[in-house]
Amino acid sequence: MTAPTATGRLTSAVAPAAADILFDRHLRPPADPVAAELWPTSDVDRAHVVMLTEQGIVRRETAAALLAGIDALRADDFAPLRHRPAPRGRYLAYEGYLVETLGERTGGVLHSGRSRNDLNATVLRLQLRRPYDRLLTETDALGRALTTQGHRRHTVVMPAYTHHQPAIPTTYGHYLAGVAAALVRDLDQLEHAGRELDENPLGAGAAGGTTLPVAPGRTTELLGFTAPLGNSLHAVASRDLVLRLLSACSVLGVLLTRTAHDLQSWTSAENPLLRLPDDLVGSSSMMPQKRNPFLLENIQGKAAAAIGALTAATTAMSTARFTNAIAVGTEAIAPLWPALEATTDAVLLLRLIVEGAQPDDGLMRRRATEGHTAATALAERLVVAGVPFRTAHHEVGDISRIALTAGRPFDEVAAERLAGHPPEVLAALDPASIVSAATAGGGPGPASVLAALQDTTDRLDALRTRAADRRARWQAAGEALTDAVSAVTNRP
């Protein structure tokens, strides 16, 4: 009996991770906007109130009642606020609720020494932590897949292509190592762009700080930042973090798209150098014979999202003066979230393709042979034998033309035309032998490829360590904040 997931031509369903992105996600309920805003906001509030208490700005009894009120809302997942009118924004409705339930002398101290400007800048950084960390994690996983497959395939000979034509002999592993080397640089730029996540804007107020003796260093500790921002205007006027992240995603997206283009060409019926398993291709609703590598098209579409988002965010920010502005703090940020998700999805889909693609070793080698990819190496051997390169270039080009016209093997014609040269000129003209000798300049020789893969792995390891340290700092700060709140409220 045919399985329900089969189509006749295909014998399995689309891989679950891909199906989740492409088919299932839109069926889920939309993200909870109340939770998305108020959970990080209340984290900032808890740290702010603890700091105000420790600085002697708020009495401990008042702070204890206020923190208890905030924690009660958190325990109830902000249920009292979910249907509360918010004519001037959700935060003011939240603060208003605390004033109503706790009294003005308690709830009214929450915003001491603070503005929505520095609060929003801080909340943005907290909201970005999870999607940013997921993007880095998935990009690291793609890098590991590329290096793993690069090791496995570093002797699988194929043509390198320029202008869509066979050019020189290389290996599939050399190609994957090249993509991995570019990817780890893009990951490094993502990590660098995200360093602004660790800078704390609290204390900046509306734009000019505050006359209250706040301690930004303390909220920095409690929220898992590494340092407070040193200029209050910069803290609220700039969202360059958004632009840098979108810029880094755009560069990464270009690499993903270019790689997908290559793989799309190599999985075509006309040049099937790679075969994808049934769970990474689609069928046609009308044409029974089709095996469509449609995930590669999804990668191309999703990887381009950040470019549009960067254009929108940059345009929005460029209209604003250098101070707090809606265009900067609201409008320019709106395209960020879908762009981060789309980029992450594109990375994940490409990883599935890299892990699942099976090269046709024999066809790859045959394409390298039939494409006369040994021609450049033959010209270089003539140079070693004393022939000027341009003369050698013309002679070997003539050999290639004759071989193609006569339908004869390239090395056979070369042996006839170059019979008077030393035997080493014509020895081992097969693509595999040429690949083995191509070690200079980072070529596809085995030792060269393995060295490049090791370098990429070392870079990935260093970036993974930094990411783990960052997550550990965020977690430790969350625990420290809970302890600090308990100390103020006298709860164990």
Render 253-321 in DSSP notation, one character per residue. HHHHHHHHHHHHHHTSSSS--EE--GGG-B--SS-TT--B-THHHHHHHHHTHHHHHHHHHHHHHHTS-
In a domain, 92, yes or no: yes
In a domain, 443, yes or no: no
Provide the token pair at 99: 């004033």
Q: Are residues 181 and 275 in the same domain?
A: yes
Among 113, 134, 164, the domain-final residue is: 113
Same domain, 185 and 257: yes
Check whether residue 211 and residue 280 sit in a common domain.
yes
Task: Tokens for 221, please give them.
Answer: 């500790």
Measured CA angle at 76 (ends 75, 78), to 5 deg: 110
Alpha helices in 371-490 (DSSP H): 375-384, 389-406, 410-417, 423-426, 431-437, 446-489
166, β-bridge pairs: 161
Alpha-carbon distance 71 to 73, whole Å?
5
Task: Say if 449 falls within a structural domain.
Answer: no
120 and 103 inside one domain: no
Q: Is residue 229 part of a domain?
A: yes
Tell me the whole-structure pTM to 2 decimals. 0.93
Q: Tell me whether residue 75 is in a domain.
A: yes
40 and 142 share one domain: no
Residues 55 and 136 in one domain: no
pLDDT at 492: 57
Burial, 416: exposed, middle or buried (Cβ in 10 Å; 0-12, 13-18, 19+)? exposed
- Is residue 322 assigned to a domain? yes
Q: Is residue 10 part of a domain?
A: no
Q: What is the block-wise mean pLDDT of the chain (492 residues), using blocks of 10 residues?
A: 58 84 74 91 98 97 97 95 84 93 96 96 97 98 98 97 95 98 98 95 96 97 97 95 97 98 95 92 80 92 97 95 93 96 97 96 96 95 94 96 95 93 92 93 95 98 97 97 95 62
Judgement on whether residues 147 and 98 belong to the same structural domain of the protein = no
Q: What is the DSSP string of 228-258?
A: E-S-HHHHHH--HHHHHHHHHHHHHHHHHHH
Is 408 found in the same domain as 293?
no
Domain count, the chain: 3
Three-state secondary structure call for residue 186: helix
pLDDT the model gives residue 23: 82
Verify that 72 and 160 share a domain, yes or no. Answer: no
DSSP H helical segments within 76-171, as ranges?
90-102, 104-107, 116-152
Q: How far apart are CA 203 and CA 225, in angstroms?
A: 14
**Does residue 95 lie in a domain region?**
yes
- The first and second tokens of residue 71, run together, are 């924690």
Please count the other Cβ atoms lying within 10 Å of the Cβ belonging to residue 31.
9
Q: Which of 89, 113, 137 delimits the end of a domain?
A: 113
Identify the domain containing residue 302 by its residue range. 116-365+454-476
